[in-house]
Amino acid sequence: MTTDNVPAAPPVSTGGAAPPGDAAKEQRRANRRSRRYQRDTKWSPYGFIAPFFVFFAAFGLFPLLYTGWSALHRVSLHNPNELEWVGFQNFTRLWEDEFFWNALGNTFTIGVISTVPQLLMALGIAHLLNYKLRGSMMFRVAMLTPYATSIAAATLVFAMLYGRDYGLINWALGLVGIDPVSWEAGSWSSQFAVSTIVIWRWTGYNALIYLAAMQAVPHDLYESAALDGASRWKQFIHVTIPSLRPTIIFTVVVSTIGATQLFGEPLLFAGSPAGGSQSQYQTLGLYMYQMGWFNFHLGRAAAIAWTMFMLLILIGLVYWAITRWVNRDTAGKEA
């Protein structure tokens, strides 16, 4: 684009007035251009964000609110558009429902035993990858491949690996003299097995995110720490971890949201929405699916969904409070 290329304004009827002088014409053209320019700068930002908000309103916000509305009604899957008002009955029934509490507890334990080791290992791996290494790219690509594997494919493979009689894992345990474990039937063993699928898929991905953040840490911080005689471990604790704090918070929040919604892994691990013969690894997401699409109670499924949402908001507030508290703590130290 060059500056001498002034675009001509399109011919516009001047309303039948007598042809004005050249200067006036120029002036009017300039006015028109500046009005059009103002209109453009004023409205185009809204035009650019409009598609997002239109789709979000139609497929995000409206369903979110309507789910809250459905949760106050009896709605059957057979007749999903017939709502019968029942007030808070769907919620009070959840309160008395042992399967709901079971699913809530399972979601929590599976969430913790999948998220905590996953993020700790990712942090450690990222630290190792941050050294100068030969074949470093090969390690990174290999560790990221599980991320490209779908929940369905990964779970089908792990269900076989964890097979009681002919599974590879029990066979390997047998080699070192451990009796076969009934991975799917046990309570802790099945939750452990489901968690390993989550850990397997996401550790490499999180490691890369940590690695990216580590590479942004200035080198002189490490050099001055080394001059002060800090060991590698001390450097990791006192330089790396504090510099990574925003990234760590980000991954913790994202993993928590993911853990609250866990659905595909427990569904496919046994191939049924019950989450095991004793519902021993049924999560909230899975219970909602069973309630809505197998027991046909869409209203109660909606109530479970809203309960999950409120739990997430609660967890979000707790994280927010912790972050503020930690930040105030360090701000005080630095002052």
Partner 1 sequence: MHGGWLTYTILAIFTVGSLIPLVWQIIAASHSSGRLAQTPPPLWFGDRLFDNLGSAWTDANLGLALLNTTFVAGTITFSTVLFATLAGFSFAKLRFRAKNLLFLLVIGTMMVPPQLTVVPLFMAVSEVGWTDHLQAVILPMMVSAFGVFFMRQYLSQALPTELIEAARVDGAHSLRVVWHVVFPVARPAMAVLGMLTFVAAWNEFFWPIIALTQRNPTVQVALTNLGRGYVPDQGVIMAGALLGTLPLLIAFVLFGKQIVGGIMHGAIKG
Q: Which residues, numbered 282-301, are part of the site for partner 1 (CB under 8 A)?
A: 285, 288-289, 292-293, 298, 301
Per CB under 8 A, contacts with partner 1 among 105-134 are: 121, 124-125, 128-129, 131-133
Q: What is the size of the binding site for partner 1 (CB under 8 A)?
A: 116
Q: How far is the CB of 209 from partner 1 (least distance, A)?
A: 4
Here the tokens at position 150 are 């779908």
How many whole angstroms separate alpha carbon 77 and alpha carbon 75?
7
Q: How far is the CB of 332 from partner 1 (least distance, A)?
A: 21
Q: Which of 6, 18, 23, 227 binds partner 1 (CB under 8 A)?
A: 6
Give 78's DSSP letter: T
Site string for partner 1, 15-34 (x = CB under 8 A): ------------------x-
The residue assigned the tokens 């991975």 is 183
How many whole angstroms separate alpha carbon 68 and alpha carbon 66?
5
Stretch that binds partner 1, among 11-19, 21-29, 210-218, 319-327 (CB under 8 A): 210-218
The reply to whether 142 sits near partner 1 by the rule CB under 8 A is: yes
The reply to whether 2 sits near partner 1 by the rule CB under 8 A is: yes
- Nearer Cβ to partner 1, position 219 or 333? 219
What are residue 263's phi and psi, to 5 degrees?
-145, -55
Question: Long-range contact list for 284-290, CB < 8 A, 24+ apart?
Answer: 284/103, 284/104, 284/107, 284/260, 284/308, 285/107, 285/260, 285/261, 286/103, 286/262, 287/99, 287/100, 287/103, 289/263
Per CB under 8 A, contacts with partner 1 among 225-284 are: 232, 243-247, 250, 257, 260-261, 263-264, 267-268, 271
How many whole angstroms separate alpha carbon 56 and alpha carbon 310?
20
Per CB under 8 A, contacts with partner 1 among 149-178 are: 149-154, 156-161, 165-168, 171
Q: How far is the CB of 170 from partner 1 (least distance, A)?
A: 9
Question: Long-range contact list for 232-235, CB < 8 A, 24+ apart?
Answer: none
